[in-house]
């Protein structure tokens, strides 16, 4: 009987840890980075070689005044989110382009900017391959 209780307790602890990671980690990051979208997956090669498909990145909130040319920002569009580098700042909009793209994106309103990638030194902080889980879930979950 004691053995069964120990096994059930161990299972309960592992389930609590899993729930804490799946629910608590995004909530904690959202609070720490001051954005409702603290993580994103790179789903294309447009930012290659700096960011690769399947990378998971962290996003931090940034005020309009702090955005600079060269920052990698995340912005909302009708299809979801785009993660590209700022190439030009205007009064009411900014222009971005993927590092591997040949042409600029359409101007983006500052209100559509979710945030900037969290930097580790001079490079965006990224966790390789972890985003492949999200890509697979979206592809096969439809």
| CATH code (residue 50) | 2.10.109.10
Domain of residue 6: give its range: 1-33
Co-location of 27 and 81 in the same domain = no
Q: What is the mean pLDDT of the chain?
A: 92
Co-location of 74 and 107 in the same domain = yes
Co-location of 71 and 112 in the same domain = yes
Co-location of 20 and 82 in the same domain = no
Q: What is the pLDDT, as a whole number, of residue 141? A: 66
Co-location of 23 and 74 in the same domain = no
Q: How far apart are CA 134 and CA 13, in angstroms?
A: 25
Co-location of 52 and 120 in the same domain = yes
pLDDT in tens, 90-132: 999 999 999 999 999 999 999 999 999 999 999 999 999 988 8
Count up the domains in the chain and report the number.
2
Co-location of 93 and 45 in the same domain = yes
Co-location of 47 and 113 in the same domain = yes
Co-location of 39 and 106 in the same domain = yes
Average of per-residue pLDDT across 39-52: 95
3-state secondary structure at position 133 = helix
Co-location of 26 and 39 in the same domain = no
pTM of the predicted structure, to 2 decimals: 0.82
Give helix then strand counts, H and E, for the chain.
3, 10
More confident residue, 134 or 106: 106
Q: How far apart are CA 29 and CA 31, in angstroms?
A: 5
User: Which of 16-25, 68-77, 132-141 has maximum average pLDDT?
Assistant: 68-77
Co-location of 96 and 114 in the same domain = yes
Co-location of 134 and 83 in the same domain = yes
């Amino acid at each position: 009987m004691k053995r069964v209780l120990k096994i059930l307790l161990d299972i309960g602890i592992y389930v609590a840890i899993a729930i804490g990671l799946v629910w608590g980690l995004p909530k904690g990051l959202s609070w720490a980075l001051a954005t409702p979208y603290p993580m994103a997956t790179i789903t294309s090669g447009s930012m290659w070689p700096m960011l690769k498909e399947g990378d998971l990145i962290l996003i931090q909130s940034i005020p309009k005044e702090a955005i600079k040319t060269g920052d990698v920002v995340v912005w909302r569009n009708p299809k979801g989110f785009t993660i590209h580098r700022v190439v030009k700042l205007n009064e009411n909009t900014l222009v971005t382009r993927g590092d591997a793209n040949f042409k600029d994106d359409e101007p983006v309103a500052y209100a559509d900017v979710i945030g900037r990638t969290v930097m580790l030194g001079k490079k965006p902080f990224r966790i390789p391959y972890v985003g492949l889980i999200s890509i697979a879930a979206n592809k096969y979950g439809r």
